[in-house]
C-alpha cells in the first residue's frame, strides 16, 4: 500500500514541526516512490533553522531535469544548496531515494536504490550543526509552499537526525523496510495502512499516516493505493 498524490489537486501531507531537530550534526531523509508523471517535484522535506521561506532539507525529482536530487538549507542559515544525481526518474519505476547531510563534515550525498549517485562538498558551508528547531515538514511538497507538488505514490518516508552511512542506506534499500535501523530516527511514515481507493482523510485513517511520532494531516485528500512492491514493516 502507499499514499497516492495528485499534483493537479495540490495534494500533500502537512507534518508540522520537528523541534527535536535542533543541534543536529547531520540528517537523513528517505522514501520509496513510484512516479506517475513528469516533470515532478518534492517527495519529502522539512525546514531548517526555523526558516519557512526556503526549502530546508529535502529529497525531490528536479522539476526541470527530471533527475533525483537531494538538497537543503545550509546550517549557518545563509543559502540553499542542492545536488543533482546521475540517475533520472522514470514513470512507474519503484525507487528508493535518500539524501544524507553531514553538517559537521560539510557533505551532501544522494542515494538512489541504495547506491551513491551524486555527492558534493558545498562551498562556504560553515555551520557544523543546526542551531534552531524545524518549524514545518511535509510529504509531497516542500514545507509552507504552494507549488512543486509531487505526482505519484509514496511509502515508508523517514527522517533521521544523523547522517546514515552508505552501508546503512544500502541495508534499508535491500531489506525493504525490515532493517531495524532506528538510531536517530525521528519519524517514520509507512503510508501503508489503508485500503485501495480509501481517502487518507477517511474515518480512522489519519492516525495511521504515522507509525510513531508526529501524525500528519493530509490536505486535499490524497488516496491510498496499491504499490508495485510495497515496502514491508520493520521487524519487531
- Residue 131 structural domain: 2-225
Q: Is residue 117 part of a domain?
A: yes
For the chain, the helix, strand and coil percentages under 3-state DSSP, each to the nearest 5:
10, 40, 55
Is 234 domain-assigned? no
Three cell numbers, residue 194 = 489503508
Q: Residue 72's domain is classified under what CATH number?
A: 2.60.120.200
Asked whether the beta carbons of 61 and 29 are under 8 A apart, the reply is: no
Write out pLDDT tens, residues 109-163: 999 999 999 988 876 677 787 777 777 788 898 876 667 889 999 999 998 989 9
Kindly state the greatest CA–CA separation across the chain: 49
Kindly provide the b/e burial profile for residues 83-117, where b requires at least 16 CB atoms within 10 angstroms of the residue's own CB.
bbbebebeeeebbbbbbbbbbeebbbbbbbbbbbb
CA distances from 196 to 11, 129, 200 (A): 17, 41, 10
Is 111 inside a domain boundary? yes
Cell numbers describing residue 27: 540528517
Q: Is residue 185 part of a domain?
A: yes
143 assigned to some structural domain: yes
**Residue 50 falls inside a structural domain:** yes
Residue 82 inside a domain? The answer is yes
pLDDT at 215 over 70: no
Mean pLDDT of the chain: 79
The answer on pLDDT for 19 being more than 80 is no
What is the total count of domains within the chain? Answer: 1
pTM for this entry: 0.88
Amino acid at each position: 500500500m502507499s499514499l497516492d498524490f495528485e499534483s493537479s489537486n495540490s495534494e500533500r501531507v502537512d507534518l508540522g514541526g520537528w523541534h527535536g531537530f535542533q543541534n543536529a550534526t547531520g540528517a537523513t531523509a528517505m522514501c520509496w516512490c513510484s512516479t506517475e508523471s513528469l516533470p515532478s517535484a518534492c517527495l519529502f522535506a522539512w525546514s531548517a533553522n526555523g526558516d519557512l521561506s526556503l526549502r530546508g532539507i529535502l529529497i525531490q525529482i528536479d522539476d526541470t531535469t527530471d533527475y533525483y536530487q537531494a538538497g537543503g538549507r545550509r546550517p549557518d542559515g545563509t543559502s540553499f544548496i542542492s545536488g543533482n544525481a546521475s540517475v533520472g526518474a522514470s514513470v512507474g519505476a519503484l525507487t528508493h531515494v535518500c539524501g544524507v547531510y553531514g553538517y559537521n563534515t560539510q557533505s551532501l550525498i544522494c542515494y538512489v536504490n541504495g547506491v551513491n549517485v551524486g555527492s558534493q562538498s558545498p562551498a562556504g558551508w560553515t555551520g557544523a550543526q543546526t542551531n534552531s528547531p524545524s518549524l514545518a515538514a511535509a510529504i509531497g511538497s516542500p514545507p509552507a509552499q504552494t507549488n512543486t507538488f509531487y505526482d505519484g505514490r509514496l511509502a515508508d518516508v523517514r527522517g533521521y537526525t544523523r547522517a546514515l552511512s552508505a552501508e546503512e542506506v544500502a541495508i534499508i534499500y535491500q531489506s525493504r523496510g525490515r532493517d531495524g535501523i532506528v538510531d536517530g530516527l525521528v519519524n517514520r511514515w509507512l503510508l501503508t495502512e489503508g485500503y485501495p481507493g480509501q481517502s487518507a482523510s477517511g474515518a480512522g485513517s489519519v492516525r495511521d499516516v504515522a507509525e510513531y511520532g508526529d501524525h500528519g494531516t493530509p490536505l486535499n485528500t490524497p488516496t491510498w493505493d496499491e504499490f508495485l512492491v510495497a515496502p514491508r514493516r520493520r521487524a519487531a
